[in-house]
Amino acid sequence: MKLPKTKNKILPLVIITGILALAGLGYIWLRTTSSHNNANPTDTSSDTRKVNDVDYSPPTDEDKKQQDQQKEEIINQATNDNPGGNANLTVAISRASQADAGQPLIIRTIVGGTSSGTCEVTLTKSGQSPVTKSFAIATEATYSTCANAQVAASDFPASGQWTLQVTAKSGSSTSPAASLNVTITK
């Protein structure tokens, strides 16, 4: 027995629905893109600027005041030299070493709380006279340091283990001492 063939009535309905959906999406896309292309700004006042638009006019007095105030704040934050405030003066030894026997002791520090003043370096060893040096505090790109802090090997009366102490002084303030044991070879 043969079954009668039935026509697939769903397939044409799916095709027609898909075509209508694509046509609708195309219409919506054309409407949104044409509305963006035809948009005319109605407000052309000088206060409304486009993105990435540069104002080449000279700064106003108010702009200059704000810039000067911002510069002062940045400088005060970088140096902690707030007028009328207490500067927390600190010093840290980041490295202290000799490259080779007979070479100078090179001392690298980070000084906080000031951009000027002096670093007092004292090296002590039991039974030996202390070695003392003074170096100016200088400001590098982002921090302050004891500038060119080096102690010649000939300044030490003997080789061996020495205790290095560094203090920073600025005005009437003195930092707590930072210390480190170093080995000196003459």
* pLDDT at res. 5: 64
Looking at the domain assignment, is residue 157 inside a domain? yes
d(CA 3, CA 99): 101
Residue 143 lies in a domain: yes
Query: Closest Cα to residue 115, out of 134, 138, 93?
Result: 138
pLDDT in tens, 143-172: 899 999 999 999 999 999 999 999 999 989
pLDDT over 80 (residue 174): yes
- For residues 104 and 152, the answer to whether their CB atoms sit within 8 Å is yes
Whether residue 107 is contained in a domain is answered as yes
- For the chain, give the mean pLDDT: 84
N-term to C-term CA, the chain: 116
Question: Is 84 within the bounds of a domain?
Answer: no
Look up the domain containing 113 and give its range: 90-184
* Number of domain units in the chain: 1
**pTM of the full predicted structure?**
0.55
Q: Among 109, 100, 93, 108, which residue's Cα sits nearest to residue 183?
A: 100
Please report whether residue 51 resides in a domain: no
Half-sphere exposure of 160 (CA within 13 A, CB side): 9
163 falls within a domain = yes
Residue 134 maps to a domain: yes
